[in-house]
Structure formats: structure tokens, C-alpha cells
Structure 1
Amino acid sequence: MNWLTNWIPKIRSTKSSSIPENLWHKCNKCGEMIFKQQIEDNLLVCTICDHHERMTAKQRLCAFFGSEKCFVVEEPKKYSDDPINFTDKISYKSRLKKYREICDSDDCFLIGIGSVEGKKVVALSMNFKFIGGSMGRALGNAIVYAADLAVENGIPLIIFSSSGGARMQEGMFSLVQMARTTIAIKQVKEAGLPYISVLCDPTTGGVQASFAMLGTITLAEPDALIGFAGKRVIQQTIRVELPDDFQSADFQFNNGFIDKIVHRSKMRSEIIRILDILD
């Protein structure tokens, strides 16, 4: 035994036990490495370039209500999986199982009821990590359920959207949700209740073409991609070169499609201010 054989096991032990995993986060815009705890404390906004990283449904509701203890999770009625027995590279049921394990959630949404500054609200948030936040029967049913909760309790409805559009694995069943959710939002408005739509990155396809753009007030996070079809598809169809900022939050605001772009750190206070005005 010499000093080398004595110390190597100790060095290995220290390396494996004292250095936490996933200590750093790489910004998806500027590419800089940031302490993971630092960016989490900053609501997943890059402390260097101010880029808004995507949040999970739970992270967003916790940020909005104040903490996980400030809201009650509501569970809508569940539909059976795979209505058309869809299979591409893998079966739809296998894909759902995979993402349920990754996201620790049955689908791409979370519904919460709670109070913000004494105002009771229903809030639904979407998670892009779950099959691109795509809208199938489960999400359509959740929005109808959230709208019903708002009407029954006489309280505002807030939806944080983040989606690539309809869920192709459910075929026509997914497209029907555009009509269902539009009717649900109409009922909230007919009850005289505010519906605040918050467009996060990205909000596209059938979600953008239905409930996401029907807000009494429509807000967006900075740099969010907002649109229906992709830029390249539109250019090929109309044979016109589109602006570099086409479908960005700034472009949509400048063309009157959204009411205001709000930094994530100010989103909660801005929604409270709007509810005070609409009360």
C-alpha cells in the first residue's frame, strides 16, 4: 500500500457524493451555462440574455399562485386512451406511457383553483414537454371542465397555452376539440366572466386557432412563437418572403393579435391588475 492506493478511493468517494448532478443549465438562446438553481429562482428566465425557457404546467401554476400549497388540483373526467388504435414508429399507448413517466402527469395540462391576492380563479396550464402540448380529447375535456368550474363558481378563467397544435394520433377526435373549447370559452364570456389567455412559447396549430386567441384579454410572453401553420409552409404556399420576426410575440402585438407582451416576472402582477380592472 502506498499513498496513491490510499487516496484514490477517497477521491472517487468525494466525487460521487459531494458534487450534485445537473448543476448547470445551458440557455437555449445564448448558449451560456448558468447555475440550475439560479435560473430556477429566476422563473426559468436566463439571467444573461433574458430568454424565457419553457416551463412545465406545474412550474407555471406554482409561479402564478405563489407555491404548490396555494392551489388545489382539479381532475377532469378521463377518456379511454387511443380511440383509433394509432401506430407510427410505436403505438400511441406506448407513447402515452413514455411521456407519462417522463412528465409525471396523465397528459399535457394541469388545472388549479386558488386565490391570487384574494381573487379566486381557475387556471389551466399546458406542458409542451408532453407530446408537444398537443390537443387531444383529454385536453379538450380539461378546458371544458375548467370553463364549467369558472361558470359554476362565478370566477375568472386563465389559460397558459403552450402547444404544437392538434394531436395527430387521435385523428378527427383531436380536431373536434377546437369546436368544443371554443364553445366552452363562449359560455364563460356569456356568464360575464373574464377569460385571460396567456400565450407561451410556442402556441401554434389548432390551439392557436381556437381557445388560445379568444381571450377577453390576450397576453404573451416575450419571444413566444405564435401562429397557425409554420413559416416555411406559408412561404411556399403564398410565394412571398415573410419578415424575419414573423409569428413572434412582437410581430403579433404590432399587428393587433395580442393585447400586451408581459415579462414572466411581471405576469402574476399584471393578471391581478387586469382582474382588478375587469372586476
Structure 2
Amino acid sequence: IPALAFLFAKSEKQEEDEESEQANASSFPFVFLLLTLGAILVLAPEFVYLRDQFGYRINTVFKFYYQAWILWSLVAAFGVGYVLQNMRGFANISTRVVMGLVIFCGLLYPVLGLMTKTNNFNPVYGFDLNDFARVQRENPDDAAGIEFLLTQPEGVVAEAVGGSYSYYGRVSTYTGYPTVLGWPGHEAQWRGGYELHGTRQQDIATLYSTARWDEARTIIDQYNIRYIFIGNLERATTAVNEEKFVLYLKPIFRQNGTVIYAAP
């Protein structure tokens, strides 16, 4: 906005130039402060950062850089205005044209991106922030099982374990109940490595696939599992051996391919 204001501002009269120069001079300390704070935010992660799984410090870098770019954008707007005020003739006009093209290109994405993301303001399923409605449409059996669990006492849920930014972890996500392991990559990221995972991912796979009840029972007791959720995702992830659950556990929910067993 400040850049646009300077870009299309009318030419100052000669007698106003001195006043503008004085106003700019009085603004320099504050602009320099913004510039310095931005530089500190950029340089600080070079020396102080939290180790993560992405080259040690990427999360620290982008969180600090977000703030730095806000500060530096204000400095840049001031700088553009200052340059335009002090340029004359063809240089001033050509600079305004170039800046206008740059700003125009920058404004293309907000307009076109918004149209694309909203399907020209006509989303297929309407304007809705309720993501569970998507689960109800795409996986109605899972959705019914999740809604059923919300009527039951809270407890640890066993469900399939898989990659980040996916459908894995959906039972824990929509119920708020704890699960044995969520997205392994994110769990490792925030815990400094995979050591704290232990054998959780393999244990869940074993819980579903083993034919031995004593082995499954050991895993249930180890993680204090109260509910075992079996849906299409579990069957697609692991070769589920359901016979042991049928013999030793009580199914408390069943709808088509989704079944929930309660551990005593």
C-alpha cells in the first residue's frame, strides 16, 4: 500500500521539496531501526537455533524470516518512495513504469489464486470450514465409527500409522483421543529424532497382522490401548488378521468395512 501510494503520487511542487526532505530525514531513525531489527532476525538463526530434522535449523529460520520480511517490506516501501521523490524527468517516469509492472505481477496471484481456490467463488461443497464433512462424504463408515467413539469414554486408540499430510491419524484427529503413534515424521521432528518412537510403528503393524493373541495382548497392555479401529485404511496398510480380535474381544461398532473392538 505505501509503495502504491508513492508510485501514483502526484509530482511535488518545488517549494514542497524541502518539507518532504525534512520529513524523510525525521523518518530515517525509525526506518533504520526496522532495518536493524530485520537484520538481527535474519542473522540470529545463523548462531542460535533449535535443531530439527530439516538440516538442523530450517524451522527456526523460516519462523524468524517471516518477521524479518514484514519489517524489511516497510523499509523497502519507504526506500521506493524516497527514490521516486528524488528522481526527475525520464528516470522518474521509467522507474514508476517498472515498479508498476512489478506490483501488477505481484497482485496477479492473490486475484487468480483466490478464484482458483474457491472455484470462482462457487465451491463444489459450499463454503465450509468443517473438514469432518469431507470425511463423511468420502469415508462414511470411518466417519460413523469416529462419531460413535465420541459417545464412548476416552481411551488410547490403535489405528494405522503412515505418512504426514495424509489420512493417517484420522481417528485421533477427529476424536481428540490419544493414539499410539501419529505421523512418524512430525513426531520425530518435534522430539529430536526417532529414538522416542521406539518400536511403536512396528508394534501397531504387529498388533493388526499377528495371528497370535498373546502377542497382540502384550502390545495392548504395553500401550494401554482401549479401542482398536479397523477400517479400509488399516486393511490397505497392513495385512490385518482379524480372527484373534473376533475370538477374544468384543466388537462395539460395525458398519460395512469399519469395525471397532474394545479391549478389556
**TM-score, L = length of structure 2:** 0.30
Compare the two structures and name the one with the higher helix fraction: 2
Per chain length, whose mean CA-contact separation is higher, i.e. which structure has more relative contact order (CA < 8 Å, sep 6+)? Answer: 2
Compare the two structures and name the one with the higher strand fraction: 1
From the CA coordinates, give the structure whose radius of gyration is larger: 2
**TM-score, L = length of structure 1:** 0.28
